[in-house]
Structure 1
Amino acid sequence: MRSQARQYAQSAQHRRAPPVRYSVAAAAVPIVAMVAAVYPVPMAVVVLAVVAVARYGRAAE
């Protein structure tokens, strides 16, 4: 799974190098989802956090 993601990231960098912050945010999304599944976190808080990260990533571009 990681090797596939690494290959995809390398091929994506050849096309257009994404900002580092955006790629870090994209990698953090599954981690946030797992934490939200384990701990009783309100989904509204998770959604707001993802939206904030997405906006921050777009602003970094």
Structure 2
Amino acid sequence: MPLRSLGHLRFHQTLKENKKARVSFAFDGSQIEFEVVACPQYGVLEVGSINTYPAHRGLE
């Protein structure tokens, strides 16, 4: 199966193991968190549980 990146491969593997694929990163002074819930087709990720928080000191 062709994948866009190593990250996509890891999402697929994690979901196949019935585990949660969570993502967290700092952007524009905020901490963004979401969960990948499905990979329905090549290059497409279905996400859910999207949360935004003020960034922690040192992540800005």
Q: TM-score range by the shorter chain?
A: under 0.3
Structure with more contact order per residue of length (Cα contacts < 8 Å, sep ≥ 6) = 1
Name the one with the larger helix percent.
Answer: 1
